[in-house]
Amino acid sequence: MKPKVRCFATILTLVYLIQTSTTRAAEPKLEKVGSTYTWAQAASWLSLNQFAVGRWDGTVTLFRPPVSDNKEFGPVLTQVLKTPSGQAIQMLSRVAKDSFVTSNDDSSLAIWTWNESMYALKGTAKYEAKFGVANCAEVIRAQGKQWLVTGHAEGYLLVWELEGCNLRFNKEVNIRSDSPVPSKFPLWNVRSVVRQKGGMVVTCAEDGDVCLVEIPVGKVLTRIRYNPKAQRGINSLSISGDYILLANCSVGPDDKNLWLYQIQDGRVKLLDSANLVKDTKRPQVFNFCVRFAPQDMDLFFFASTEEGLLWWGQISDEKIAVKGNEKIECEGGGALTFEPEYGRLIVVAHAIHLYKLSETREEKEKAPNVTLPTTRRGLWHRRCDR
């Protein structure tokens, strides 16, 4: 090969090596397509042996408690379901022995029934899209019939006649506040609906109002603003007898995110309030979910806040007595569901936590087909130092 040709070939080789080296050293170009949010929004016991969790990714996961003889260390996954719409699960509620409903999209509910050895989709119940996605639900018996009451994103209750797992739409009830809590983005989501004696339900919403509503006629009997100085709406509500616990977001150190009321003669009376917060420098602290946990003669409660904490306490002499807290996540509140027969609490955020209260019954006489890990004296006794 001639010198000039050899030189030219060498130059081409060097250029190729330089380009190849540059290409290899270049950083990869990443374009984010999207992400899936797997946080839990709803949880409910379906039976003594099974509970379900609804998440923002549109899945319903079913679990059973662990069996100690099998050396199981936590709740065991038994089935995974997906809503027809694939949208987030914002509501999950048991409606019959072998049936439950979930939110599906902004114009339908999904109905699930037990089929031989697993749950399967039975169908959907349609309604007008103007009501928005279902955020909560409750079954109530009134006028000799069973009714399902669903609370929706646009501030409405829908009343359904319930026969087994079959739903027939009955009426809509507008429970929107005329003056919602001050916000740049006014919301009317009905976050909780719970049954009360006398054919009534108690509701709470993002607009800041607590309502007593007669079912099935849909008459609003009482309406109160949970806090006249409220800056945020209501996230969750739990009821035990005539007592109501309400969870919201507290803004600043002087606000409260847990409120205790009592229903007296058709009116809602404020008894006490507390602020569940560890880092008092935070500008606000969401209390995402609250659940009463009655056991024998005691009335306990649990709450889950945005600091990643599970709180517990007791109602005593019409006052809130906070007993302690435990870290369940780095940040963020979880969904709670309590099963009173054996005192079992499920707390779900990303992880699924099972707690068992101190034994108050002879489990050998009424035990389900599982054996649970036990604690000696109950959650708040072994954690009261926190």
CATH 2.130.10.10 fits 42-382, yes or no: yes
Confidence of residue 13 (pLDDT cuts 50, 70, 90): low
pLDDT band at 265 (very low <50, low <70, confident <90, very high): confident
CA distances from 316 to 223, 298, 320 (A): 26, 8, 7
Pick the closest to residue 310 from 324, 299, 325 (CA basis). 325
Residue 69 binned pLDDT confidence (cut-offs 50, 70, 90): confident
Amino acid found at 213:
V
Residues forming a β-bridge with 194: 202
Domain boundaries, the chain: 42-382
Cβ atoms of 289 and 274 closer than 8 Å: no
Quick one: pLDDT at residue 15?
A: 57
Q: Which stretch of 9-13, 339-343, 354-358 has the lowest confidence by average pLDDT?
A: 9-13
pTM of the model: 0.85
Mean per-residue pLDDT, 65-69: 85
Residues 165-191, mean pLDDT to the nearest whole number: 93
pLDDT at position 1: 52
* CA–CA dist 205, 246 (Å, integer): 11
Residue 200 clears pLDDT 60, i.e. is over it: yes
What lies within 8 Å, CB to CB, of 42 at 6+ separation is 53, 54, 89, 90, 91, 92, 102, 335
Task: Name the token pair of 217.
Answer: 């006629």
Q: Which of 40-44, 69-73, 116-120 has the lowest mean pLDDT?
A: 69-73
Closest residue by Cα to residue 288 from 154, 192, 180? 192
Q: What is the mean pLDDT of residues 233-255?
A: 95
What does the alpha-carbon distance between residue 132 and residue 83 come to, in Å, rounded to a whole number?
16
- pLDDT at residue number 385: 31
**Given this model, what pLDDT does residue 380 score?**
35
Whole-number average pLDDT of the chain: 88
Sheet with strand 344-348: strands edge to edge: 335-339, 344-348, 352-356
Confidence band, pLDDT 50/70/90 cuts, at residue 10:
low
User: Does residue 260 surpass a pLDDT of 60?
Assistant: yes
If pLDDT is split at 50, 70 and 90, which confidence band does 362 have?
A: very low
* Dihedral, CA of residue 225, residue 201, residue 90 and residue 277, to nearest 10: 50
State the pairing for strand pair 335-339/50-55: unpaired
Identify the band that residue 71 occupies on the pLDDT scale cut at 50, 70 and 90: confident
Residue 11: per-residue pLDDT: 54
Lowest mean pLDDT among 141-145, 268-272, 340-344, 364-368: 364-368
Backbone angles phi, psi at 46, to 5 degrees: -95, -25
